[in-house]
Structures are given as structure tokens and as C-alpha cells.
Amino acid sequence: MQNDYFANENQIVSTCFLKKGFSVLINRTDSLAQQEEITLSDLTNRKLLIWDSAFISPIIENLKLQLSKIQSPFSIESCADYFQLITQVRVESYTGIIPSIMFDRCNQDLSYVPLVYSQKIEYCANYLQKNCDNDSIQKSLQVIKKAIAITQAKW
């Protein structure tokens, strides 16, 4: 489970919209591209490039730790730029690991294979408890839920 940065803040409410895992980003010609899912041990002896945002994400740090247990930590790098990451995967220098929501259906030369990993990233909205009944907040939450449902239908 991802760390809740507001766990001790009783004035803040969180609405979780989505929990998603990770995908392995690889060339369609890679042998792993034929698998329905990829385990951490399938990634042994590969140069890995893991998407990581500008802030430290406990769930991604934990993923890196788990991967470093099965291979050299020097073969694991982070990248905050998605386009740089896919470029490195395209030239076959790396195997990429990205949050599953970054899946791009239009990408014809790369495969996105689900990674077997128990932890999920939670995508939430946080707001002040005193604003729970605020009409604008509630409408905004409904719009976000609808947008996510429309996007998920295209996955």
C-alpha cells in the first residue's frame, strides 16, 4: 500500500478514484512481449528504466528495492520523462517499467505487459473535511469519476 501523506491529518479527506499497478514497456520483438504478464524474476539481468516522478514515491522506491534483490542495483535507473523512457526502450537499451495508466494504445512498436506486483498506485483527490458538503467539490468529484470511467472504457 502506498503511504498516505495525510494519514494523521483529520482535517483532510481523500477520495480514491483508481488503484492501478505497473506495466513493463518492451519492444514488440522482445521475447517477454508474448507473455500475458511479467514477474519481477523475469526482469533479471536486464537494464531497467523505471518511470519516477519528481517527488519520491514510496511505492516506486519499494519496487526498486524489490528489483535490486534479484539483480545488480546498477542496472536500475529512474527517469521522470516518459518520452525519454520510451526512446530508450525503442533503441533497445532498456526495459521500461511505468505506471499502467501511462499505457499508449497508439504506440505500434512497443508492448505494455502487466507487471505482477502486489502494490498499487492510488490516484486520489484530497480536500478539506470542512468542504465535504461543498457543491463545487462534489460536482468536481463527479466530473473526475466520469472522466476516469470514459478513459477506462477505452483501455
pTM above 0.85, yes or no: no
32-88 confidence digits (pLDDT tens): 999 999 999 999 989 999 998 766 678 888 999 999 888 776 789 999 999 999 999
* Nearest to 55, CA basis, from 80, 23, 27, 86: 80
82-135 confidence digits (pLDDT tens): 999 999 999 988 999 999 988 777 788 899 999 999 999 888 888 888 888 888
112 and 85 Cβ atoms separated by less than 8 Å: no
Residues 6+ apart with CB under 8 A from 92: 27
